[in-house]
Amino acid sequence: MKYEIKGGSLPVVEVHLEAGEQVISENGAMSWMSGNMKLETTSNAGGNGGLGKLLGRAFSGESLFQNVFTAQDGPGMVAFTSSFPGTILAVEITPGNDVICQKSAFLASTTGVQLSTHLQKAGAGFLGGEGFILQKLSGNGIAFLEIDGSTVDYELAAGEKMIVDQGFLAMMSATCNVEVVVQKGIKNLLLSGDGMTNTVITGPGKITLQTMPIQQVAGSIIPFIPTKN
* Confidence at residue 184, expressed as pLDDT on a 0 to 100 scale: 61
Are residues 209 and 182 in contact, defined by beta-carbon separation less than 8 angstroms?
no
* Confidence at residue 182, expressed as pLDDT on a 0 to 100 scale: 73
* Confidence at residue 45, expressed as pLDDT on a 0 to 100 scale: 56
* Ramachandran bin of 173, using left for φ above 0, alpha for ψ from -120 to 50, beta for the remaining angles: beta
| H or E segment to which residue 51 belongs | helix 51-59
Radius of gyration of the chain measured on its C-alpha atoms: 19
- Residues 129-171 have pLDDT tens digits of 444 578 899 999 999 999 999 999 999 999 999 999 878 999 9
- Residues 9-44 have pLDDT tens digits of 899 999 999 999 999 998 788 999 999 999 999 876
* Confidence at residue 223, expressed as pLDDT on a 0 to 100 scale: 79
d(CA 208, CA 221): 25
- Residues 99-127 have pLDDT tens digits of 999 888 999 999 999 988 876 654 444 44
| Domain 2-216 part of CATH 3.60.160.10 | yes
| Inter-CA distances, 1 with 57, 74, 111, 145, Å | 27, 13, 11, 17
d(CA 108, CA 23): 7
Please provide the size of the chain in residues: 229
Domain boundaries, the chain: 2-216
d(CA 81, CA 100): 21
Q: How confident is the model at residue 91 (pLDDT cuts 50, 70, 90)?
A: very high
* Confidence at residue 47, expressed as pLDDT on a 0 to 100 scale: 55
* Max Cα–Cα distance, the chain, nearest Å: 66
Residue 64 predicted with pLDDT over 70? no
Choice among 57-66, 89-98, 130-139, 187-196 with the minimum mean pLDDT: 187-196
* Confidence at residue 151, expressed as pLDDT on a 0 to 100 scale: 95
* Confidence at residue 146, expressed as pLDDT on a 0 to 100 scale: 95
| Inter-CA distances, 116 with 60, 102, 149, 179, 216, Å | 10, 12, 24, 20, 26
